Amino acid sequence: MQNEISRRRTFAIISHPDAGKTTLTEKMLLYGGAVQLAGSVRSRKNQRTTTSDWMELERKRGISVSSTVLQFDYQGYQINLLDTPGHKDFSEDTYRVLTAVDAVVMVLDAAKGIEAQTQKLFEVCRQRGVPIFTFINKCDRPAKGAIELLDEIENVLQLKPFPVNWPIGDGADFKGLFDRLAKQVHLFERTTGGAYIAPVEVGGISDNFVRERVPEGTLAKITEELEMLDMAGAEFDSGEILAGHTTPVFFGSAMNNFGIELILNGFLQHAPPPQGRPSNGEFIKPSDEAFSGFIFKIQANMDPKHRDRIAYIRICSGKFERDMTVYHSRTGKKVRLASSHRLFGKERETVNKAYAGDIIGLVGHADFGIGDTLTTNKGVEFHEIPRFTPESFSYLHNADTGKFKQFRQGLEQLLQEGAIQCLSLKGSTVAVPVLAAVGPLQFDVVQFRLESEYNAVSRLEPASWQVVRWLPDKFSEEEMDKLSPPTGSRFGWDSDGNPVLLFASEWAAGYFQQNNESLKLAKRPPRWNGS
């Protein structure tokens, strides 16, 4: 079992929108032999679309709206790669993914450096102590200088960069990379649309082919920069990388396949195997005999023909075997895991066994929820996955009364994914759902999926609230009636029956709390406040 665990690598790719995260994911699949032809995020009709962006909405808009699991074998490694949404409105999905991985590849746009969402996601990784590998993308376009980008990583993120390779040329003159560890030059040739593996010539920096293809001035500049880096005296320290203090930096162009093999191989060589995790009682090691794992994502209606629901579980210890019986920690019930799948974007196949570090999909368990622990050791329960506090609110109207059943069923299934919450208002005579989410794009996703997957047309109506707070558990309507919240506030309940109070602004929430100091308001539902 230990051999199986040690060859697992489970990681996520994160970035600000448009930095090239999904393109890099697709090219890693190409170089890893998982696909024969790389797709394009913004593909034309006659081109192949990306494997990770499989939803119809993702393909139409050219953005990732949901995280995707991609599993494949490469050079003896079992890889669990997770492509994450970059847009801040989908940050809750990305955050949950970051609880399930052992390392992260952070993608930066060479022209823009560190952007807002990148910094936010980095802080999440820092809090968890997750090792970070950096890929500076789009070096084949006008960009900041390589040294300037390294300084930005160090000064903005307080993360020590170690450039594993170095760009040869820049912009339209970007020709390849110098591998500082192997002391080798890699010069690439472009392929049509970057759909195929780029031809590469490898050798020493003084070899004739380098002098023939790289202008003398460029070669002199690179030599000077490499000497300066060597004089700085920084050494490649695996311990500092695993501790999250140092980030190995790789340069390249995901679109043109420059440097993809270098970061893929470099990452697999130096990234950690599955790591242990704290539970409520003890520290769980991957090599522990008892099976354990936690659910970090629910995907509804992945197969529209069967209206199925798939729960993504990160295996933390032991060996998974299909048809095994485990404890469901939240309910205390025993459940048999009969329908288990290995995942590759939208595609999946039955998996009979899996090990710590793997992510598998479980079908047919309506009781499973995000954060639930599954284990053969009844005493193990992993920490809850906290939710983000909603900041956007909207009414969702059923636009076709003849499709009420489809509307309710679709909404119920989409709510199970946990990206949005549904609130009901006290004193409301019309049962119109109030949706609450981190960002308004989530509402567009719900609306699109209701129509495309459930044939239910809906209408959004913006709500005036900006803040939601949870009242103490079992807070009654009679107690609500005794309070005097600010004008524009409304009492209500979430989908689990927890009482809430909606405010028009942060100021209104603060004013109410100031005048009701004995009443404890929370930013998350009771189940999520302990983490």
Q: What is the DSSP string of 224-258?
A: HHHHHHHHHT----HHHHHTTSEEEEEE-BTTTTB
pLDDT of residue 43: 41
Q: Confidence band (pLDDT; 50, 70, 90) for 383? A: confident
Parallel, antiparallel or unpaired: strands 319-321 and 353-355:
antiparallel
Contacts 24+ apart (CB under 8 A), 278-283: 278/382, 278/383, 279/373, 279/380, 279/381, 279/382, 279/383, 280/380, 280/381, 280/382, 280/383, 281/379, 281/380, 281/381, 282/380
Which CATH class, in words, describes the domain spanning 2-68+103-270? alpha beta
pLDDT at 112 exceeding the cut of 80: yes
pLDDT of residue 46: 40
pLDDT at 358 exceeding the cut of 80: yes
Q: What percent of the chain has pLDDT over 90?
A: 71
Residue 278: half-sphere exposure toward Cβ, Cα within 13 Å: 6
pLDDT of residue 42: 39
The closest alpha carbon to 320, from 367, 366, 274, 282, belongs to: 274
C-beta separation of 440 from 460 below 8 A: no
Q: CA–CA separation, 263 vs 135, rounded Å?
A: 7
Tell me the DSSP string of 148-188.
HHHHHHHHHH--EEEESEEEES-GGG--EEEETTTTEEEEE
C-beta separation of 129 from 244 below 8 A: yes
pLDDT of residue 511: 95
The dihedral sign for the CA sequence 153, 154, 160, 166? positive
Per residue in 232-272, pLDDT tens?
877 899 999 999 999 999 999 999 999 999 999 999 999 99
Q: CA–CA separation, 195 vs 175, rounded Å?
A: 18
Mean pLDDT of 376-405: 90
pLDDT at 65 exceeding the cut of 70: no
pLDDT at 497 exceeding the cut of 50: yes
pLDDT of residue 529: 44
Q: CA–CA separation, 363 vs 343, rounded Å?
A: 12
The closest alpha carbon to 349, from 72, 3, 13, belongs to: 72
Per residue in 315-335, pLDDT tens?
999 999 999 999 999 999 999
Q: Confidence band (pLDDT; 50, 70, 90) for 531? A: very low
Domains of the chain: which residue ranges?
Answer: 2-68+103-270, 277-375, 392-528
- Mean residue pLDDT of the chain comes to 90
pLDDT of residue 177: 98
Q: CA–CA separation, 286 vs 272, rounded Å?
A: 12
The CATH code that applies to domain 277-375 is 2.40.30.10
CATH number of this structure's domain 392-528, picked from the four choices 3.30.950.10, 1.10.275.30, 3.50.50.60, 3.30.70.3280 = 3.30.70.3280
102-111, 364-373, 382-391, 504-513: the lowest-pLDDT one: 382-391
Mean pLDDT of 95-106: 93
Per residue in 504-518, pLDDT tens?
999 999 999 999 999
Per residue in 409-442, pLDDT tens?
999 988 888 889 999 999 887 789 999 998 898 9
Per residue in 205-231, pLDDT tens?
999 999 999 999 999 999 999 999 998
The closest alpha carbon to 164, from 145, 186, 142, 143, belongs to: 186
pLDDT at 306 exceeding the cut of 70: no
pLDDT of residue 41: 43
Q: CA–CA separation, 339 vs 311, rounded Å?
A: 11
Q: Confidence band (pLDDT; 50, 70, 90) for 47? A: very low
**Is residue 3 left, alpha or beta, with left meaning phi > 0 and alpha meaning psi from -120 to 50?**
alpha
| Residues in contact with 231: Cβ distance below 8 Å, sequence separation at least 6, in sequence order | none
C-beta separation of 96 from 385 below 8 A: yes
Q: Which amino acid is at 91?
A: S
pLDDT of residue 58: 52
